[in-house]
Amino acid sequence: MRKIQLGKSDLQVPVIAVGCMRIDRLDKPKAEHFVKTAVEAGANFFDHADVYGDGLCEEIFADAIGMNAAVREKVILQSKCGIRRGIGHDFSKEHILESVDGILKRLKTDYVDVLLLHRPDALVEPEAVAEAFDMLENSGKVRHFGVSNHNPMQIQLLKKFVKQPIVANQLQLSITNANMISQGLHVNMLDDKAVNRDGSVLDFCRLNDITIQTWSPFQYGFFNGVFLGNDQFPVLNAKIDELAEKHTVSNTTIAVAWLLRHPAKMQVVTGTMNEARLKDCVKAADVSLTREEWYEIYLSAGNILP
């Protein structure tokens, strides 16, 4: 599995991360086999959040992988905190510290490699976040820190007080949800694509060595469904299928390869619990689309070039 450096950290991570949001849909034997398959394929970076299954997903994962000291050395664990169901978002010092203790207990480990703040908190007090990060780092409970769905100014506000590098920003990106790319192509235009909805977060992350972790790489809209094999995207699927045949891989592999072709050196977070599909995602690490192929896919999704 091809690896990249995660932000400014010393972590070398696989370009494919295994999202565990849906692992609670698997029974124990299937969960065990899925996790084993991922590790054997080199996809040993597992992405969690305390709200996935209200914590159940972390518990299921720990049991499925048979967490112990020897196993822990072979995997990279990331989790997220900050969302309180039915209440809102909470980046208070107390909530962050309490959340991490719960995450560690459920994952049966003494530390997580990466902790992300899960979507912005309107009431964030960056001084309190900084205190929490210092305590977590000094105690050894968290080794690296990042964010999810934050824009550049929100990250800058955190960085004013937080001394640890922000190593990752988890953002929604797929062929059909490529606004962070398209807005950069429609500079100085009057069309809808020119609207800057995220503060040029793609360029900001590249300038500041923050790894973009792309979530929902096969979704269109906000969890409206997958675009692969979808009759709503006939031109896109025809182009993807054509390139899949050319490169002798699946359409899944081409969709992931499109993201990995971007020079920002992104890490793709998969959400599948299907072993065959996960293997197809992993194969994308070895597929290099040409510039022409990348743009052909981009245009076939209905995107336009000025």
pLDDT tens-digit series, residues 166-193 = 999 999 999 999 999 999 999 989 888 8
Residue in the block written with tokens 């969302």: 83
Mean pLDDT for all residues in the chain: 97
Predicted pLDDT of residue 279: 98
Predicted pLDDT of residue 190: 87
Report the sign of the C-alpha dihedral through residues 273, 263, 113, 171, in that order: negative
CA 195 to chain centre: 24
Residue 169 forms part of a structural domain? yes
User: Is 278:270 a contact under the CB 8 Å cutoff?
Assistant: yes
Q: Which domain holds residue 22?
A: 3-233+264-286
Predicted pLDDT of residue 224: 83
User: Is 106:23 a contact under the CB 8 Å cutoff?
Assistant: no
With bands split at pLDDT 50, 70 and 90, how would you rate the model's confidence at 53?
Answer: very high
Tell me the mean pLDDT in the region 138-155: 98
Which residues make Cβ contacts (< 8 Å) with residue 29, sequence separation at least 6? none
Predicted pLDDT of residue 301: 96
Which residues make Cβ contacts (< 8 Å) with residue 214, sequence separation at least 6? 170, 171, 172, 173, 174, 259, 266, 267, 268, 269
Tell me the mean pLDDT in the region 60-88: 97
Residue 99 forms part of a structural domain? yes
Residue 274 forms part of a structural domain? yes
With bands split at pLDDT 50, 70 and 90, how would you rate the model's confidence at 303?
Answer: very high
Tell me the mean pLDDT in the region 44-58: 97
With bands split at pLDDT 50, 70 and 90, how would you rate the model's confidence at 5?
Answer: very high
Please classify residue 230 by burial: count the beta carbons closer than 10 Å to its beta carbon, then call 0-12 exposed, 13-18 middle and 19+ buried: middle
Residue 294 forms part of a structural domain? no
Residue 303 forms part of a structural domain? no
With bands split at pLDDT 50, 70 and 90, how would you rate the model's confidence at 222?
Answer: confident
Q: pLDDT tens, 260-280?
A: 999 999 999 999 999 999 999
Q: Distance between CA 241 and CA 239 in Å, rounded?
A: 5
Residue 243 forms part of a structural domain? no
Q: Which amino acid type is present at position 78?
A: Q
pLDDT higher than 90, residue 221: no
User: In total, how many domains does the chain have?
Assistant: 1
Tokens standing for residue 204: 């900001």
Tell me the mean pLDDT in the region 33-45: 98
Residue 104 forms part of a structural domain? yes
DSSP 42-107: T--EEE--TTGGGGHHHHHHHHHHT-SHHHHTT-EEEEEE-EETTTEE---HHHHHHHHHHHHHHH
The domain that holds 208 is classified in CATH as: 3.20.20.100
Q: What percent of the chain has pLDDT over 90?
A: 95
Tell me the mean pLDDT in the region 215-242: 94
Residue 239 forms part of a structural domain? no
Backbone φ and ψ of 188, nearest 5°:
70, 25
Kind of pairing between the strands at 88-89 and 12-14: unpaired
Predicted pLDDT of residue 223: 76
